[in-house]
Structure 1
Amino acid sequence: MSQRLIIGVVLLLIAGGIIAVVVATGGDSDDSDSSDNSSSVITLNGYIGSEKVAFLRNPEVVRILRERYGIEVDFQDLGSIAQVDGSVDTTEMDFLWPSNEVALALYEERNPGAVSAETIFNSPIVLYSWDFITEALIDQGLVTENPGAYYEIDMPRLVAIILAGQQWSEIGISEFSGNIKVESTDPRESNSGNMFYGLLANLLVEQETGNEIATSESIVLVLPTMKDYLDGLGTLETGSGDLFKKYITQGSGSKPIIVGYESQLIEFSLQNNPDPQLRILYPRPTVWSSHPLIALTPEGERLIEALSDPEIQQIGWTEHGFRSGLASITSDPADLEVSGIPETITSVRNLPSPQVMEYMKDYLEGDQQ
């Protein structure tokens, strides 16, 4: 074989090798995921309620957002009211994710025009307590245990004994001294506390007038009582997640009863070994904590679509305890490894209007007195 022929064969082999490499590694193949957007990932910035931090840090949620929707989320946790009341700069943010519809309404009021928002999750406001306190409340007729081993607490009666100044010792609790109280986050800054005080306003107005929902006229009758109660609690946490974590870590000797979200215990129980003394009490009536995502930019609207993904919604429920906010998706307690969670939440009451809630917040801050 001549030298020229040998060189020609070698060149053909080299060329064939290059072609083979290109076919193996370049372009779209049948095995590629056509929805993979990881090559054009954008980072979205926003404020969220502290109770959703673990959800957005879930590795599977992070993966789906990145690979399926080309999104990474950079967030700071901030109280729901603080997100929308103008106290922080949101000009560099793509989204806000507060924890109630009142926050959305307040944002819409301050920002007239079309607002793109979608309720991603729901979670009822609940009370957390300990087994020995729950048993004492059962003996007093304030708490009932229902089929399925979940507990309901009679909120009008609980409010009545709180306002009457009844002490823990009077219901057989020696571990705590002083008056019976329920501690929430600061209602002037945090959503769960704000919603609890909205429910409290309704219950107090009902005692005064017989009407179930506080109005701008009727709430003035009960605000002094609410302010006195709030002032008597001292310094409060400003984040729902912080209050719950401290309640869990400090144990049954810290606080008798706190306000939180149903989702918090579900999430904690799936990731840790919860204290067997811990109890979740469903208020009767209660209020829904909805979690609307408010898009501030077109990119923020992409996050609404992404978080509506059925797989992400299922992770939100089974791993973090958030009931779906979408009508097309159900949240079945049978999917959970946690017992004592009702299939449906009953005896739900509307909060006062956003204007009344804002007036209440201003009064509690001292701005309306």
Structure 2
Amino acid sequence: MAISRRAFGVGLLAAGIAGTGGYFAVKDRPELQGLLGNRTKLFGFIGGEKEAFLADQDVISALHGHGLEINSRVAGSVEMVREQALLSQNPAFLWPSSSIMVDIARQGGIKIRNDRVILNTPVVVYSWQPVVDGLTRAGLVTATAEGHHQLDLKALLDAVLAGTNWSKLGVNSLYGQARIVSTDPNRSNSGFMFSGLVLSLLSGNVASAAGLAQFGDKAQAIFRNMGFKSSSSGKLFEQYLAGGIGGEPMIVGYENQLVEWILADPKRWQRIQASNGAKPVVLYPHPTVYSAHPLIAIDEQVDRMIEALISPRLQQLAWTKHGFRGPLGTATGDADSAIAGLLPAEIDAVLPMPDAHVMLTLLDKLAS
């Protein structure tokens, strides 16, 4: 049957109206903007341990699917919420590595629209198998039934404060006094959280102002003993791997760092495991502290970034490719065979951080 020109024109007009209406219907729904290639660009600062996650092409593609393009720069967690030189760049978001940074940001006058914990990873200690063997003989390290290593951090801190030699702790291959190194607590979150954990362990409970007054000098001595302290958790982890057992016998880091390094090149990890050289070992302080990673929204558009990052797809990528646990501290996907059995399913001995006032006062003391 023939179709008249008028009917054909009406059909085209209707299709155009439907298409235009469909376009604006999608355009007005942020979660569908990625279908049109429309992306909202957001600039902000992140902790260095999340740099590889946001540079992951799968993560970038998933964020594009939510209509988002993230331009992030690395800064220390403490720096990003306190340094005016960074805040004057008008970031839309801040993504530090500790929930207490939200309180510190508010106290500093940052206008926070929203905040949400996106990722979690416990603070751990990285060492080497010969060191762990010696500390095990000395009673400072014990193995769980699942084969994970727990560190009596309080006993180690006491040994450091006493100037105990490595040989006295069963580690004959190392020269000099025992030491553990973290990042600069006034710049980087892993050092910041470790300082709170140190003060609490010395105090015998979650540190208060009274505990700081009584044990602050000892905490200061622990950090003075470290010598040079890196400004970045990522840089310190690289120094640990490059320096080996002689250069960095024990460092403070995040659980996800070794996982991410293994998954970047599983065959490299297999070669290391099969070699006769010293092997990296992750130790779980008992107790430890959890490094929660809250996304702080300054611009209202960051609410969309929060919703994207807590989506099942991005949570799965965070765990399976980068070793980050979910907001509740649990796995959010099936572990890769390369890291099967490496991580405990749950961390059962976790100590809360001291409050923001105590931590800020401690930072001033450590900086003096």
Report the TM-score when normalising by structure 1. 0.85
Q: Distance in 2 between matches of 1:332 and 1:343?
A: 12
- The 1:34–1:288 alpha-carbon spacing in structure 2 relative to 1, beyond 3 Å, is closer
Alignment of 1:189-338 (within 5 A): 189-206=187-204, 212-272=205-265, 273-274=268-269, 275-276=272-273, 277-325=279-327, 330-331=331-332, 334=335, 337-338=338-339
**For residues 117 and 239 of structure 1, what CA distance do their matches in structure 2 show?**
23
Give unmatched runs, 5+ long, in structure 1. Answer: 1-11, 207-211
Written as runs of structure 1 = structure 2, the 5 A alignment for 1:117-196 is: 117-196=115-194
Aligned to 1:95: 93
RMSD (Å) for aligned C-alpha atoms: 2.5
72 and 112 in structure 1: CA distance in 2 versus 1, 3 angstrom threshold: closer
1:72 corresponds to: 69
- 2:301 partner SS: helix
Give the whole-Å Cα distance in 1 for the aligned partners of 2:112 and 2:43. 21
Deviations 1:170-196 (A, max 9, x none): 233233211111100011111000101
Q: Which runs of 5+ in 2 are unaligned?
A: 274-278
Check conservation: 2:150, 2:284, Cα contact below 8 A: yes
Q: TM-score, normalized by length of structure 2? A: 0.85
Partners of 2:320 and 2:335 within 8 A in 1: no
Aligned mates of 1:172, 1:139 — CA distance in 2: 6
Q: By how many angstroms is 1:252 displaced?
A: 2.4
What residue number does 2:59 align with? 61
Aligned residue pairs, count: 338
1:310, CA displacement in angstroms?
Answer: 0.7
Shift, 1:59, TM fit: 0.4
How big is the shift at 1:130? 0.4
For residue 218 of structure 1, give the secondary structure of its aligned residue in structure 2.
Answer: helix
Deviations 1:279-309 (A, max 9, x none): 0000001000000000010112221111111
Of Structure 1 and Structure 2, which has the larger fraction of its residues in helix? 2
Partners of 1:148 and 1:341 within 8 A in 2:
no
Greater mean deviation of Cα atoms: 269-278 or 253-262: 269-278
Contact 2:124–2:255 at 8 Å: present in 1 too? yes
Q: What is the distance in 1 between the residues matched to 2:318 and 2:69? A: 17
Question: SS at 1:46's partner residue?
Answer: strand
Which of 73, 82, 87 matches 1:85? 82
Q: What is the percent sequence identity of the aligned residues?
A: 34
